[in-house]
Amino acid sequence: MASESDSFKPFEFDSTLKILSDSSTLKAVPSKFNLTNDRNAFTSDSLPTIDFSALVGCDPHQRSNAVHDLATACRDWGFFILVNHGVPERLMSEMFRKMVEFFNLPDSEKKQYEAKSASDPIKCGNFNVANTSNQSFTLWREYLKLYVHPNFHCPHQPQLLRDVVQEYTQMIRVLVRKLIEAICEALELNQRRYVDEILKMESSFQLFATNYYPRCPQPDQAIGIPPHTDHGLFTFLIHNGVAGLQIEHDGKWFNADSPKNAILVNAADQLEIFTNGRCKSVKHRAVVNEEKDRISIVVANGPSGEAVIGPAAALVEKDRRAKYCAMKYEEYVESQLTKSRIGGKSILEQQMILPAN
Ligand code: OGA
Ligand code: NI
């Protein structure tokens, strides 16, 4: 999830973003959103694609190829396009319909979910971020964030929102578990021990977020989400057909576009830590555009909040050193929510242990 900072009342509800961008007279980005950024990015036809049906199928040859491809994608890109995942198209479309209904609720209805603190299980509004000189900017985005597992939280309006969010996030948990098992297999780690006992996936912490990025009159002067890494193991993202996610690869930015119905998946901080750096938590950002409103639906999947995550012992032994300090996951999330700064050191960077000498 994006970095948030709460040193300057960041969760204030602000309905102007939607109203301003709806107005045809808006020619420039109002000053509080003004954050000059370069949104140029390359387009690559070599973004990795993972066929989920091969990963869980009974053809052992196909399966071992898919396991290998997954590990390679997590190592080289920290990102892949997941296809044949089994999440029905009707569920995805229904999700977008419900999200639009949510963002169109009257402000009085949404205001009850205005966040009071970073750890509220339901929160919505606009986001402020700070840079290292403590200057604050508002992101060009309205969001709704929900803690959905191990305890499920969701607004009661619009009707049926709870049902679709519950169905979708439950399906994602099944996919995540399979991906983690496959990574463990590729790295020759004992699946039971790591998935069940160390990561404690039975009580995994799962966060649902939806981001609404209205069209923007000056897309180079505002940003949807600044560059960041996500805190969990794997993040799943779908969008309403309007591109805007960019990922960093070999020091350059790439557009992460996707075929219809595919899910964009990125490896996140806990996976990098757990694999002692074999999987890469990829830096990514969301840019805005002049023509179309964009909605993304993001599900961040972590280990249990109670789990203390450090590099897997078997990998530390192989590498002869741990490259990251261990930390309780809920403390890690808390630090990311409250301490990140644009241009500052990320929590992941702070956890890195440099080689001796
Ligand atoms: C996030 C995120 C990107 C997007 O919510 O953490 O990176 O395209 N979103 O919405
Ligand atoms: Ni993110």
Please give the distance, rounded to the nearest whole angstrom, from the Cα atom of residue 317 to the centre of ligand 2.
31
pLDDT of residue 45: 87
Residue range 18-46: mean pLDDT, rounded: 81
Domain count, the chain: 1
Reported as a single tens digit per residue, the pLDDT across 195-254 is 999 999 999 999 999 999 999 999 999 999 999 999 999 999 999 999 999 999 999 999
Q: Is residue 5 part of a domain?
A: no
Range of the domain at 65: 16-351
| Residue of minimum CA distance from atom 6 in ligand 1 | 1
Rg (CA), the chain: 20
Residue 72 has pLDDT above 80, yes or no: yes
Contact 206, 303 (CB under 8 A): no
**Residue 312 within a domain:** yes
Closest atom of ligand 1 to 296 CA is 10
The minimum-distance atom of ligand 1 relative to the CA of 245 is: 8
pTM of the entire predicted model: 0.93
In a domain, 258, yes or no: yes
From the CB of 1, is ligand 1 less than 6 Å away? yes
* Cβ proximity of 281 and 275 under 8 Å: no
Can you give the CATH number for the domain in which 332 is found?
2.60.120.330
- When mean pLDDT is compared across 20-29, 106-115, 169-178, 256-265, the lowest value belongs to 20-29
Spatial distance between the Cα atoms of 200 and 250, rounded to a whole number of angstroms: 33
Cα 56 to averaged position of ligand 1 atoms, centre (Å): 27
Residue 33 lies in a domain: yes
- Please indicate whether residue 244, judged by its CB atom, sits closer than 6 Å to ligand 1: yes
Gap between the Cα atoms of 119 and 63, Å rounded = 39
Spatial CB neighbours of 245, under 8 Å, sequence gap ≥ 6: 237, 239, 255, 256, 264, 284, 285, 286, 296
User: How do beta strands 284-286 and 245-249 pair?
Assistant: antiparallel
Domain presence at residue 259:
yes
Q: What is the DSSP letter of 300?
A: E
Please write the tens of the pLDDT for every residue from 40-63.
999 998 899 999 999 999 999 999
Residue 3 is assigned to a structural domain of this protein: no
Residue 11: predicted pLDDT: 37
Question: How buried is 327 (Cβ within 10 angstroms: 0-12 exposed, 13-18 middle, 19+ buried)?
Answer: buried
Mutate to test the pocket of ligand 1, among 129, 246, 298, 340 (most ligand atoms within 8 A of CB): 298
**pLDDT band at residue 16, thresholds of 50, 70 and 90?**
low
Q: Is residue 8 part of a domain?
A: no
- C-alpha–C-alpha distance, residues 136 and 139, integer Å: 10
- Tell me, yes or no, whether 164 lies in a domain: yes
Residue 245: CB within 6 Å of ligand 1?
yes
pLDDT the model gives residue 328: 98
